[in-house]
Structure 1
Amino acid sequence: MAYVVAQPCVDVLDRSCVDACPVDCIYPGERMAYIQPDECVDCGACEQVCPVGAIYYEEDLPEEWKDYTRINADVFAEVGSPGGASALGSLPDHASVVGLPLKEDR
Protein backbone atom coordinates (compact mmCIF):
# COMPACT_ATOMS: atom_id res chain seq x y z
CA MET A 1 0.00 0.00 0.00
CA ALA A 2 0.98 3.62 -0.45
CA TYR A 3 -0.36 7.11 -0.07
CA VAL A 4 -2.29 8.60 -3.00
CA VAL A 5 -2.76 12.17 -4.18
CA ALA A 6 -6.40 12.76 -5.16
CA GLN A 7 -8.38 15.35 -7.12
CA PRO A 8 -8.39 18.15 -4.49
CA CYS A 9 -4.70 18.68 -5.39
CA VAL A 10 -5.51 19.67 -8.98
CA ASP A 11 -4.55 23.29 -9.67
CA VAL A 12 -3.58 23.98 -6.04
CA LEU A 13 0.13 23.98 -6.91
CA ASP A 14 1.19 23.88 -3.24
CA ARG A 15 4.30 21.72 -2.91
CA SER A 16 4.37 21.32 0.89
CA CYS A 17 4.03 17.56 0.44
CA VAL A 18 7.06 17.44 -1.86
CA ASP A 19 9.15 19.27 0.73
CA ALA A 20 7.88 17.08 3.61
CA CYS A 21 8.50 13.71 1.94
CA PRO A 22 11.60 12.11 3.51
CA VAL A 23 12.11 9.71 0.58
CA ASP A 24 11.48 12.21 -2.27
CA CYS A 25 8.70 10.09 -3.82
CA ILE A 26 6.23 12.90 -4.62
CA TYR A 27 6.69 14.14 -8.16
CA PRO A 28 5.10 17.40 -9.29
CA GLY A 29 3.18 17.66 -12.52
CA GLU A 30 1.91 20.87 -14.05
CA ARG A 31 -1.52 20.62 -12.40
CA MET A 32 -1.02 18.22 -9.47
CA ALA A 33 1.53 16.07 -7.65
CA TYR A 34 1.81 12.27 -7.90
CA ILE A 35 3.17 9.71 -5.44
CA GLN A 36 5.35 6.93 -6.86
CA PRO A 37 3.74 3.94 -5.09
CA ASP A 38 6.86 1.75 -5.13
CA GLU A 39 8.98 4.48 -3.52
CA CYS A 40 6.45 5.51 -0.84
CA VAL A 41 7.33 4.23 2.65
CA ASP A 42 3.89 5.00 4.13
CA CYS A 43 5.20 7.50 6.69
CA GLY A 44 2.27 9.93 6.28
CA ALA A 45 4.40 13.08 6.42
CA CYS A 46 2.79 14.34 3.21
CA GLU A 47 -0.75 13.83 4.47
CA GLN A 48 -0.09 16.00 7.52
CA VAL A 49 1.05 19.05 5.53
CA CYS A 50 -1.39 18.99 2.59
CA PRO A 51 -3.38 22.25 2.81
CA VAL A 52 -6.38 20.83 0.92
CA GLY A 53 -6.56 17.30 2.34
CA ALA A 54 -5.77 15.70 -1.03
CA ILE A 55 -3.50 12.91 0.24
CA TYR A 56 -4.89 9.66 1.62
CA TYR A 57 -3.60 6.27 2.61
CA GLU A 58 -4.75 4.06 -0.27
CA GLU A 59 -7.23 2.10 1.88
CA ASP A 60 -8.77 5.35 3.20
CA LEU A 61 -9.27 7.01 -0.19
CA PRO A 62 -12.88 8.23 -0.54
CA GLU A 63 -14.92 6.26 -3.08
CA GLU A 64 -15.31 9.30 -5.35
CA TRP A 65 -11.51 9.43 -5.84
CA LYS A 66 -10.69 5.70 -6.03
CA ASP A 67 -9.45 6.16 -9.63
CA TYR A 68 -6.55 8.24 -8.31
CA THR A 69 -4.79 5.09 -7.08
CA ARG A 70 -4.52 4.02 -10.72
CA ILE A 71 -3.85 7.57 -11.94
CA ASN A 72 -0.87 7.98 -9.58
CA ALA A 73 0.53 4.57 -10.64
CA ASP A 74 -0.12 5.20 -14.37
CA VAL A 75 1.99 8.36 -14.34
CA PHE A 76 5.01 6.17 -13.58
CA ALA A 77 4.23 3.43 -16.13
CA GLU A 78 6.92 4.67 -18.53
CA VAL A 79 9.47 6.13 -16.10
CA GLY A 80 9.25 3.36 -13.50
CA SER A 81 10.86 4.16 -10.17
CA PRO A 82 13.12 7.14 -10.93
CA GLY A 83 14.60 7.23 -7.43
CA GLY A 84 13.63 10.73 -6.42
CA ALA A 85 11.70 13.72 -7.63
CA SER A 86 14.54 16.16 -7.03
CA ALA A 87 16.68 14.39 -9.64
CA LEU A 88 13.90 13.89 -12.20
CA GLY A 89 11.88 17.08 -11.89
CA SER A 90 8.32 17.46 -13.14
CA LEU A 91 6.32 14.77 -14.87
CA PRO A 92 3.61 15.19 -17.49
CA ASP A 93 0.14 15.13 -15.97
CA HIS A 94 -2.09 12.09 -16.42
CA ALA A 95 -4.62 12.45 -19.26
CA SER A 96 -7.48 12.32 -16.74
CA VAL A 97 -6.04 15.34 -14.94
CA VAL A 98 -5.28 17.24 -18.16
CA GLY A 99 -8.94 16.81 -19.15
CA LEU A 100 -10.32 18.37 -15.97
CA PRO A 101 -11.59 21.95 -16.18
CA LEU A 102 -9.20 24.53 -14.71
CA LYS A 103 -10.08 25.75 -11.24
CA GLU A 104 -11.07 29.39 -11.36
CA ASP A 105 -8.75 30.45 -8.56
CA ARG A 106 -5.67 28.97 -10.25
Structure 2
Amino acid sequence: MPFMYRIASYFIYYDFRWCGMTPRELLAWNIRKLRVERGLSQERLALEAQIERVSISQIERKQVNLGIDSLGKIAQALNCAVSDLLMTPPPGDKMPPVLRPGRKNSK
Protein backbone atom coordinates (compact mmCIF):
# COMPACT_ATOMS: atom_id res chain seq x y z
CA MET A 1 0.00 0.00 0.00
CA PRO A 2 2.77 2.58 0.58
CA PHE A 3 3.50 2.55 -3.17
CA MET A 4 -0.12 3.37 -4.01
CA TYR A 5 -0.15 6.10 -1.36
CA ARG A 6 2.91 7.66 -2.94
CA ILE A 7 1.26 7.54 -6.33
CA ALA A 8 -1.93 9.09 -4.93
CA SER A 9 0.09 11.77 -3.15
CA TYR A 10 1.92 12.56 -6.38
CA PHE A 11 -1.33 13.01 -8.29
CA ILE A 12 -2.85 15.13 -5.53
CA TYR A 13 0.28 17.28 -5.45
CA TYR A 14 0.24 17.56 -9.23
CA ASP A 15 -3.44 18.51 -9.17
CA PHE A 16 -2.77 21.25 -6.59
CA ARG A 17 -0.06 22.73 -8.78
CA TRP A 18 -2.29 22.59 -11.85
CA CYS A 19 -5.12 24.60 -10.30
CA GLY A 20 -2.81 27.08 -8.56
CA MET A 21 -4.33 26.41 -5.13
CA THR A 22 -2.68 25.06 -2.01
CA PRO A 23 -4.24 22.09 -0.19
CA ARG A 24 -5.46 24.50 2.52
CA GLU A 25 -7.15 26.69 -0.13
CA LEU A 26 -8.80 23.64 -1.74
CA LEU A 27 -10.15 22.47 1.61
CA ALA A 28 -11.50 25.93 2.40
CA TRP A 29 -13.11 26.22 -1.05
CA ASN A 30 -14.72 22.78 -1.02
CA ILE A 31 -15.93 22.81 2.58
CA ARG A 32 -17.59 26.17 2.03
CA LYS A 33 -19.01 25.11 -1.35
CA LEU A 34 -20.51 21.89 -0.01
CA ARG A 35 -21.77 23.58 3.16
CA VAL A 36 -23.51 26.35 1.18
CA GLU A 37 -24.97 23.87 -1.34
CA ARG A 38 -26.50 21.95 1.55
CA GLY A 39 -27.81 25.13 3.18
CA LEU A 40 -25.86 24.54 6.39
CA SER A 41 -24.58 27.30 8.63
CA GLN A 42 -21.08 27.01 10.06
CA GLU A 43 -22.71 26.40 13.41
CA ARG A 44 -24.86 23.53 12.10
CA LEU A 45 -21.94 21.91 10.27
CA ALA A 46 -19.81 22.16 13.41
CA LEU A 47 -22.59 20.60 15.48
CA GLU A 48 -23.02 17.69 13.07
CA ALA A 49 -19.24 17.19 12.77
CA GLN A 50 -18.80 17.47 16.55
CA ILE A 51 -16.15 20.17 16.33
CA GLU A 52 -16.08 23.81 17.43
CA ARG A 53 -17.89 26.36 15.22
CA VAL A 54 -14.87 28.63 15.30
CA SER A 55 -12.89 25.78 13.70
CA ILE A 56 -15.19 25.76 10.66
CA SER A 57 -14.76 29.52 10.34
CA GLN A 58 -10.98 29.27 10.61
CA ILE A 59 -10.84 26.45 8.05
CA GLU A 60 -12.93 28.43 5.55
CA ARG A 61 -10.69 31.48 6.08
CA LYS A 62 -7.57 29.30 5.57
CA GLN A 63 -6.20 30.09 9.03
CA VAL A 64 -5.62 26.57 10.39
CA ASN A 65 -4.28 23.23 9.33
CA LEU A 66 -6.98 20.60 9.52
CA GLY A 67 -6.23 17.30 11.27
CA ILE A 68 -7.16 14.06 9.53
CA ASP A 69 -9.74 13.16 12.18
CA SER A 70 -11.49 16.52 11.83
CA LEU A 71 -11.36 16.16 8.04
CA GLY A 72 -13.15 12.83 8.33
CA LYS A 73 -15.79 14.26 10.67
CA ILE A 74 -16.49 17.17 8.32
CA ALA A 75 -16.72 14.87 5.29
CA GLN A 76 -19.16 12.64 7.15
CA ALA A 77 -21.27 15.63 8.24
CA LEU A 78 -21.34 16.86 4.62
CA ASN A 79 -22.19 13.33 3.43
CA CYS A 80 -19.26 13.18 1.04
CA ALA A 81 -15.95 11.38 0.64
CA VAL A 82 -12.80 12.92 2.10
CA SER A 83 -11.43 13.07 -1.46
CA ASP A 84 -14.33 15.38 -2.42
CA LEU A 85 -12.86 17.96 -0.05
CA LEU A 86 -9.69 18.04 -2.17
CA MET A 87 -11.30 18.27 -5.61
CA THR A 88 -10.10 21.09 -7.83
CA PRO A 89 -12.83 23.51 -8.90
CA PRO A 90 -13.65 23.74 -12.60
CA PRO A 91 -11.85 26.57 -14.42
CA GLY A 92 -13.74 29.83 -14.00
CA ASP A 93 -15.73 28.57 -11.02
CA LYS A 94 -16.45 31.38 -8.56
CA MET A 95 -16.07 31.21 -4.78
CA PRO A 96 -19.33 30.04 -3.21
CA PRO A 97 -21.43 32.89 -1.82
CA VAL A 98 -21.75 33.56 1.87
CA LEU A 99 -25.07 32.48 3.34
CA ARG A 100 -27.05 35.34 4.78
CA PRO A 101 -26.64 35.74 8.53
CA GLY A 102 -29.01 34.02 10.92
CA ARG A 103 -30.03 30.54 11.81
CA LYS A 104 -30.58 28.09 8.99
CA ASN A 105 -33.25 25.43 8.81
CA SER A 106 -32.00 22.01 9.83
CA LYS A 107 -32.57 19.25 7.32
TM-score normalised by the chain length of structure 1: 0.36
**Structure whose CA Rg is larger:** 2
Q: Name the one with the larger helix percent.
A: 2
Q: Name the one with the larger strand percent.
A: 1
